[in-house]
Amino acid sequence: MKQHYHVVVAGAGPSGIAAAVAASRNGCRTLLLEKNSFPGGLAAMGKISTICGLYHNSVKPAPELLYDGFPREFAARVMSLDLLSGPVRSGRVFVLHSRPGMIEAAARKFLESTKNLDVHYRAEISGLTMDGKQIRQIQFSVSGREQVVQADAVIDSTGDAVIGEMAGASLLLPDETEQAPALLFSITNFGDAFSDRSDIIRIRMKIKHAVDLGDLPRGTDDVSFSPDIGGGSAFVKLNLGALICPDHDGAESGLEEKAQDMKKHLIHFLQKNVGGLEHVQTIGQSGTVLHRAGKRAEGLYLLTREDVLNNAQFPDAVARGNWPIEKYSCSGAPRFSYLPDETAYDIPGRCLRVSGMDNLFTAGKCISADDDAIASARVIGCCLSTGEAAGNLAGQFVSKTDRSCP
Ligand SMILES: Cc1cc2nc3c(=O)[nH]c(=O)nc-3n(C[C@H](O)[C@H](O)[C@H](O)COP(=O)(O)OP(=O)(O)OC[C@H]3O[C@@H](n4cnc5c(N)ncnc54)[C@H](O)[C@@H]3O)c2cc1C
């Protein structure tokens, strides 16, 4: 007899964690499947230390949370785990800044303490069994062992509409020329001398000069360093806009290889040309190319750029967002289109319901939104909000069936 779950959540990124906790709190027997060996998705893979989209955009000096519910709880958990964390102003917006690794740590605490919830890591979903407009079974492998479970409702929080694609949903494809991926990696022997902002600016100016002279590959100057104060290491984010430019040689193939090559040149340059960084080295694995944009499943409503910038309100609102539309193109620096201060847009439940499917919901990066709208709604704060909403919607769906959550 196959195991039966009311709700199966695919992917344990920020949205999947929120969805799994919410579905479980609705009384649903819930299964969360994650192909990595840890929770947190891109936020954990990239050791991201800034949660965007949690606070009202305001000129007021004190930050105010945009959300109640799970995003608020998540922010509180991060702050309780890391006493150095807290909201900081970044230009026109506030962000929650913490030490790297805290998003994963907070996620683990929630998943471990939630009742009715089973979590499998290293569990890659490989197939579905459909019955008309419903998903009935999910196939996945854990350490090479195939397993099948029955599901009443499924939430696609894979960041790339993996479940939507398997179910045959219509997909919205990403445009990476406006959402360039990035290579994130850690370096050691960075030295506490470089924890000062002006030192970092000096390093970046040297890199830019070398790019202008042709001594470093084009695009290597689209880089930022976040020092781990007192730890002698730093996280490096190398935006790969230059590699996806239409005029870049062979841009269509080998992104990972080209990114690694760029990184190698950068490290070599730092060792040879920046006093104090002679011994700088990459730590551990060589880093991962992370994709800001992914596939999305077409829903019953498509959230648009106009909805975002005009703070659209909907009667079936289930989540909210207010982060500016943030684009990373070939030209380097990110470009922001801001909402008016103190405003936020609604995300209707229809964006989280997949067109042509009865029991499939989406959350996070793969909700139904156009390229510009998702460039706002993809930040972690908003993913926590759509994740919680998807968990609630799935719980409500199941409670209307004869297999209702207790
Ligand atoms: C370079 C970069 C920097 C960023 N910086 C910030 C920042 O500073 N602040 C901020 O707020 N946001 C930032 N973001 C955005 C944010 O991290 C992501 O948009 C957010 O994590 C998306 O959450 P998600 O839950 O939708 O998906 P993801 O985080 O992508 O999680 C999806 C999960 O699904 C799993 N999965 C996929 N396929 C399967 C499968 N077949 N079976 C099982 N599991 C599967 C994946 O392993 C992953 O864990 C950044 C993104 C990038 C790429």
Per-residue pLDDT tens digits for 298-357: 999 999 999 999 999 999 999 999 999 999 987 767 899 999 999 999 999 999 999 999
pLDDT of residue 8: 98
Residues 192 and 266 in one domain: yes
| pLDDT tens column, 340-352 | 999 999 999 999 9
CB 138 within 8 A of CB 154: yes
Q: Which of 158, 186, 374 maximizes ligand 1 atoms within 8 Å of its Cβ, making it the mutation to test the pocket?
A: 158
Domain containing residue 192: 182-290
Residue 159 CA, ligand 1 centroid: distance in Å: 6
Return the CATH number at 124. Answer: 3.50.50.60
Domain count, the chain: 2
Domain boundary among 253, 275, 290: 290
Q: Is residue 10 part of a domain?
A: yes
Task: For the chain, give the mean pLDDT.
Answer: 92
Q: State residue 285's pLDDT score.
A: 67
C-alpha span between 245 and 240 (Å, rounded)? 9
Q: What integer pLDDT is reported at residue 144 of this predicted model?
A: 83
pTM: 0.95
For every residue of 370-404, DSSP letters joined together read -HHHHHHHTSHHHHHHHHHHHHHHHHHHHHTSTT-
- Tens of pLDDT, residue by residue over 17-56, are 999 999 999 999 999 999 999 999 999 998 898 999 999 9
> Are 108 and 132 contained in the same domain?
yes
Determine the Cα–Cα distance for residues 105 and 357; give it in Å rounded to an integer: 34
- Report which protein residue has its CA nearest ligand 1's atom 30: 159
Q: Can you say how many angstroms the Cα of residue 240 is from the centroid of all Cα atoms in its chain?
A: 17
349 lies in a domain?
yes
pLDDT of residue 226: 82
**The pLDDT value given to residue 249:** 56
Residue 359 in any domain: the answer is yes
* One domain, residues 298 and 244: no
Q: Are residues 229 and 91 in the same domain?
A: no
Average pLDDT over residues 2-24: 97
Q: Does 406 reside within a domain?
A: no
Does 251 score more than 50 pLDDT? no
Token couple for 190: 């960075």
* Mutation test residue for ligand 1: of 36, 48, 376, the one with most atoms within 8 Å of CB: 48
200-230 tens-digit pLDDT: 889 999 999 999 999 999 999 999 988 876 6
| Same domain flag for 146 and 249 | no
Structural domain ending residue among the three candidates 245, 262, 290: 290
Q: Does ligand 1 come within 6 angstroms of the Cβ of 383? A: yes
Cβ atoms of residues 300 and 367 within 8 Å: no
Q: Which atom of ligand 1 is nearest to the CA of 364?
A: 26
C-alpha 231/C-alpha 311 separation (Å) is 42
* 367 & 327 share domain: yes
Burial label for 56, CB within 10 Å (0-12, 13-18, 19+), is middle
Q: Which of 290, 325, 346 is the last residue of a domain?
A: 290
**Pairwise CA distance, residues 233 & 243, whole Å:** 27
Between helices 69-81 and 102-113, what is the axis angle to 10°? 120
115 and 77 in a single domain? The answer is yes
**Do 104 and 26 fall into the same domain?**
yes
Q: Does residue 132 share a domain with residue 49?
A: yes
Question: Of all residues in the chain, what percent carry a pLDDT higher than 90?
Answer: 76
The per-residue pLDDT for 197 is 76
